[in-house]
């Protein structure tokens, strides 16, 4: 086992299927899913404390101003942020902490932490993305348009990411994320104790 946990950041346009992929990934062994705070209204199927910690703008600002968020961003008129405490606790336990966050948040985390891997999940096409958002039937047409515009903006920053995974099949996307994390975990800087031991045995 490597020496430390890892932040696994998964971004991608609204409708790229991040939520579904992440839910399938996280029951597995060493993954822990960070639950974000948001000021967005819950969708009918969403549960407070499971999908998000839903809060008012004032509650959000209070946590943010007390340095309680690892990163935060505004997305289509709502605030979103990653509570710091859970992530830091899980990293100490050597877990792979999954953050499902937007591009702005991902780039903030990349600036602050070496120990992160950025994965961008994309739909098979932008047409498919529009169909998924319309068929999901959780947002108004204006919000869908807003999210599609945002998707075009986010895709422009894709080269800041370490890996791109096309989500045309959820199980295959999950398998690819597992492969990425397994390979990343073999990097020397995540295995310094093995290296020290090897060097020690040479003396
Ligand atoms: P949704 O409203 O569809 O649940 O999420 C909208 C966008 O906000 C998605 O791109 C999602 O990944 C992102 N998001 C969710 N939680 C966070 C967070 O804690 N921080 C940031 N920066 N983005 C988040």
Tell me how far the alpha carbon of residue 75 lies from the centroid of ligand 1, in angstroms.
7
CATH 3.40.50.720 is held by the domain 6-198: no
Residue 201 pLDDT = 64
Mutate to test the pocket of ligand 1, among 19, 81, 86, 105 (most ligand atoms within 8 A of CB): 105
Going edge to edge, which strands form the sheet with 116-122? 31-33, 96-100, 6-11, 116-122, 163-166
Would you say residue 202 has pLDDT above 60?
no
Query: What percent of the chain is predicted at pLDDT more than 90?
Result: 69
pLDDT tens digits for range 187-196: 999 998 899 9
Strand-pair partners of 11? 120
Task: Return the residue matching tokens 């903030």.
Answer: 108
Which DSSP string do the residues of 12-25 spell out, in sequence order? --TTSSHHHHHHHH
Q: What is the mean pLDDT of the chain?
A: 92
User: Which ligand 1 atom is nearest residue 105's CA?
Assistant: 22
pLDDT tens digits for range 47-88: 999 999 999 999 999 999 999 999 999 999 999 999 999 999
Q: Where are the domains of the chain?
A: 6-198
Going edge to edge, which strands form the sheet with 69-75? 53-54, 37-38, 78-83, 69-75
Comparison of pLDDT for 133 and 202, the residue scoring more? 133
Categorize the per-residue pLDDT at 153 as very low, low, confident or very high, splitting at 50, 70 and 90.
Answer: very high
Residue 1 pLDDT = 62
Strand-pair partners of 97? 7, 32
CB distance 60 to ligand 1 below 6 Å = no
Q: Using an 8 Å Cβ cutoff, are 6 and 185 in contact?
A: yes
Q: Convert 169-190 to b/e letters by CB count within 10 Å (16 or more is b).
A: eeeebbebbeebbeebbeeeeb
Strands 78-83 and 69-75: antiparallel
| Closest C-alpha residue for ligand 1 atom 22 | 105
Find the mean pLDDT for residues 162-185: 94
Tell me how far the alpha carbon of residue 202 lies from the centroid of ligand 1, in angstroms.
49
pLDDT tens digits for range 23-44: 888 776 789 999 999 999 999 9
User: Which ligand 1 atom is nearest residue 76's CA?
Assistant: 6
Task: Pick the closest to residue 13 from 116, 144, 114 (CA basis).
Answer: 144
Find the mean pLDDT for residues 105-109: 96
Task: Return the residue matching tokens 């199980």.
Answer: 171
Would you say residue 166 has pLDDT above 80?
yes
Q: Which residues, at least 6 apart from 116, have a Cβ–Cβ distance to it below 8 Å?
A: 6, 7, 8, 9, 109, 110
Q: Which residues, at least 6 apart from 69, have a Cβ–Cβ distance to it below 8 Å?
A: 37, 63, 81, 82, 83, 84
Tell me how far the alpha carbon of residue 38 lies from the centroid of ligand 1, in angstroms.
8
Would you say residue 16 has pLDDT above 90?
no
Comparison of pLDDT for 165 and 127, the residue scoring more? 165
Tell me how far the alpha carbon of residue 185 lies from the centroid of ligand 1, in angstroms.
26
Find the mean pLDDT for residues 3-8: 88
Would you say residue 130 has pLDDT above 80?
yes
Can you point out the beta strands (E) in the chain?
6-11, 31-33, 37-38, 53-54, 69-75, 78-83, 96-100, 116-122, 163-166
CB distance 40 to ligand 1 below 6 Å = yes
């Amino acid at each position: 086992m490597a020496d430390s946990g890892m932040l696994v950041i998964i971004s991608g346009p609204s409708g790229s299927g991040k939520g579904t992929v992440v839910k399938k990934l996280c029951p597995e062994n060493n993954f822990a899913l960070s639950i974000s705070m948001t000021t967005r209204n819950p969708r009918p199927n969403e549960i407070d404390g499971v999908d998000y910690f839903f809060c008012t703008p004032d509650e959000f600002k209070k946590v943010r101003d007390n340095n309680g968020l690892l990163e935060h961003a505004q997305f289509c008129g709502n605030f979103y942020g990653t509570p710091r405490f859970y992530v830091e606790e899980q990293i100490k336990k050597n877990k792979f902490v999954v953050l499902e966050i937007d591009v702005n948040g991902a780039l903030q985390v990349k600036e602050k932490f070496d120990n992160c891997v950025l994965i961008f999940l994309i739909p098979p096409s932008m047409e498919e993305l529009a169909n998924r958002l319309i068929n999901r039937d959780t947002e108004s047409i204006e919000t869908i348009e807003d999210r599609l515009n945002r998707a075009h903006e986010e895709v422009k920053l894709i080269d800041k990411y370490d890996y791109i995974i096309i989500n045309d099949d959820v199980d295959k996307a999950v398998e690819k994320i597992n492969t990425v994390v397994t390979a990343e975990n073999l990097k020397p800087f995540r295995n310094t104790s093995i290296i020290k031991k090897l060097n020690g045995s040479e003396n």
